[in-house]
Structure 1
């Protein structure tokens, strides 16, 4: 995936001055109980699985919209959508985005947030201008439905059937004998689902974060530890350089990158078999939406249980291209590059300006066309299939033929 709009926030409420009346109001607004109004039986709503992300329809104070469903983020309304609701701004809060950048957003509260016939009353929301991010409005229409509405319900995420189910408790969702089960921890706002995991002798906790497209993303010091390295599949490791993606504070700085297959990843004492993992420079480690290619995921907050239910028809693992292309400062760019990879062997370099891919023009387009091309890169383009790339490097136009990834 070329563009990663991962919105993982660790909120610094403890950093607000204790003597501030506004900070006390914000704490009260964010920690106040959310009342849930339901019909009898589970609620089922369509789930749109694209770009390794989850999108749902929701109604906020009676206005319908399309939202990213992100269990690793609080609920965030786009500035454009929020302005139509004429919300009262309660104050501002500063948090840290997925790349470690401080981001300040307005805080408000909506009267109702409805998913199908289940209605959540009194939900705290943040308000952010996604237009401040390059291509932000291309990928993020109305905002994010986040994790503060998760407590009080059991949720089942099924991308195989394209369905999100929520119920009063886990029993209403049924159980499967083949499911992998682990305790689910809730440590307060924004109520992200936290799970214990282990890799060999290393034990830790990680959010299940559907904002991350990976199966597993390990904090780099964890990934570089001896017990983890010992369980990497021989020959699977690729190293490289590039940005880890775009978050609310903008695109992350160039970092050392690593990808590998891991044989010893455990949840709830059960080894999952081989998982594909990458590294991240900012804690915590994450269990991401990539797991949905193999499992249905149940988040049973009332029962305190996290479950992975094997899919009847899991998706085959996808070969990684060894590079990523996205837009930066209005032009197509190579934003990640790994070695060993066919792209690196063919001469592609980090920061190369990409003008064409297989005859498709990326360069010189207007804003609307760039948005279309960015969506094509994220949804349809498969770098693992290789192709003919026209690039501009140091003023020289070059054509590179990148072979497909083997296997």
Structure 2
């Protein structure tokens, strides 16, 4: 979905705040969080523009009197930034503790907003979590209003179509999409925060996954599943790429450096039908994720009223891009190599995990502690193409060294 999705992989954890299955609820907040919002429509089918930036889906929404850009993240509850919460003078009703994307506990304030409007669709009395993006180095670079999350999904039919650049929200039974579905699977709703859950299988292994648009990947298998013998036997021969790196900084802090794996699954079933082959990676925490990269091939519909997860072929699927062998991001005020895969052109050229990069293709990075860190991070995400020929200047003990990485051939 983007040239360098892992520049903001850190913020995948911000947007989902570890609510990949369900937030921990204390007895005082349970009733507040689980009460369904009211829904008011000015028409039965509503279409709003949806942009893909930095590997995230963005829509505009109005919370009470304030209109902001929000990440639309099906793997997250709704989250407002502290700046927006203060502008609205929201009353803090309590706190809620969940786990971030790296498995660390995170506690956030809880409030209820009177109205949350997306186009002609208005939700009433929506519980929201409040998070200060300034706690994270790049948090304010991507979070404007915050995150529109999954607790508003029940009661409507939601279609995400990145080919058309739109989000369609329909009343139950009012959907107008005449295209024939490619796949229909059961959609589960296990309560707050109402994240969309589907059944999947790899070989004889059956499990449940969240459809999480906060993840830029296609499929991210929980390691407990990926390590099983039956799943390992299902991996296409010769497709495994190993590496080391971090899953990024989440709300509770940076993820640990760990082993990384990428591989192809010839068959990946959702319900009874396969969407394989898929390119997959792994994560340390449960559950498995089906990420936003699936939107490169399909429009995805979440029909909560009918309990259906529906895929519809895009008219022009996006071609699979070559996989770069490395990732770079801003870490502690420096552009840093945060992931590196074995046997790739980047490793063969001499790049090392943890290298601090002072320039790329003549684009110099300076004074990120006090300078334009967001501009540089956005340049890395949306302008720098890791599949193209690249010349990186890195700092080593003996002084600067130039690493020349050839262009990748698909």
Instruction: Flag whether TM exceeds 0.5 (same fold).
Output: yes
For residue 326 of structure 2, the aligned residue among 323, 326, 332 is 323
- Counterpart of 1:36 in 2: which secondary structure? strand
Question: Is the alpha carbon distance of 1:129 and 1:42 closer, same or farther for their aligned partners in structure 2, counting shifts above 3 Å?
Answer: same
Structure 1 residue 170 displacement after superposition: 4.8
Name the structure 2 match of 1:343: 346
Shift of 1:178: 4.0
Of residues 276, 279, 304 in structure 1, which corresponds to 2:279? 276
Distance (whole Å) between structure 2 residues aligned to residue 222 and residue 91 of structure 1: 36
1:74-93 equivalences under 5 Å are 74-93=77-96
Match of 2:375 in 1: 372
1:182-235 residue CA offsets vs partner (Å, 9 max, x unmatched): 000000000000000011111100010000000000011211222222222222
**1:207 maps to which residue?**
210
- How far 1:171 moved relative to its partner? 4.5
**Count of matched residue positions in the alignment of Structure 1 and Structure 2:** 399
Kept in 2: contact 1:341–1:405 (CA 8 A): no
Task: Tell me how far apart the structure 2 counterparts of residues 103 and 208 of structure 1 sit (CA, whole Å).
Answer: 22
Higher relative contact order (CA 8 A, sep 6+): 2
Deviation per CA, 1:248-285: give whole Å up to 9, x if none: 11221111111112101111211112111111111111
Going from structure 1 to structure 2, the CA distance change for 1:188 and 1:117 (only over 3 Å counts) comes to same
- Aligned with residue 164 of structure 1, among 149, 167, 175: 167
Q: Distance in 2 between matches of 1:246 and 1:69?
A: 19
Query: Bigger shift: 232-241 or 62-71?
Result: 232-241
**Residue equivalent to 1:119:** 122
Q: Which residue of 2 aligns with 1:54?
A: 57
Gaps of 5+ in 2: none
Paired residue for 1:28? 31
Unaligned 5+ runs, structure 1: 17-22
In structure 2, the residue matched to 1:356 is 359
| Contact map agreement 1:75 1:145 (CA 8 A) in 2 | yes
Equivalent residue for 1:20?
Answer: none
Q: Over the residues paired in the alignment, what is the CA RMSD in angstroms?
A: 1.4
Q: CA deviation at 1:174?
A: 3.2
Q: Which range is displaced more, 214-223 or 118-127?
A: 214-223
State the match for 2:310 in structure 1: 307
The answer to which of 99-108 and 222-231 deviates more is 222-231
By how many angstroms is 1:366 displaced? 5.5
Q: Deviations over 1:160-191 (max 9, x none)?
A: 11100001115524353342110000000000
Q: 1:399 to 1:67 in 2, by over 3 A?
A: same
The aligned residue for residue 235 of structure 1 is 238
**Do the aligned partners of residues 353 and 395 (structure 1) sit closer, same or farther apart at CA in structure 2, a change above 3 Å counting?**
farther
1:321 and 1:126 map into 2 onto residues whose CA distance is 35
Q: Is the Cα–Cα contact under 8 Å of residues 181 and 310 in structure 2 kept in the other structure? A: no
**Partner SS state of residue 372, structure 2:** helix
Is 1:128 the equivalent of 2:139? no
Give the aligned partner of residue 185 of structure 1.
Answer: 188
CA separation in 1, counterparts of 2:145 and 2:42?
Answer: 26
Moved more, 118-127 or 382-391: 382-391
Taking the aligned partners of 1:141 and 1:386, their CA distance within structure 2 comes to 33
Q: Contact 2:63/2:116 (CA < 8 Å) preserved in 1?
A: yes
Shift of 1:51: 2.1
> Any conservation in 2 of the 1:321–1:382 contact (CA below 8 Å)?
no
- Whether 1:285 and 2:288 are equivalent positions in the alignment is yes
CA distance in 1, matches of 2:55, 2:273: 25
Q: Any conservation in 1 of the 2:23–2:193 contact (CA below 8 Å)?
A: no
Q: Is it true that 1:13 corresponds to 2:16 in the alignment?
A: no
Among 3, 9, 12, the alignment partner of 2:8 is 3
Cα gap change, 1:365 to 1:246, in 2 (>3 Å):
closer
Using the TM superposition, give the Cα deviation of residue 352 of structure 1 relative to its aligned residue in structure 2, in angstroms. 0.4
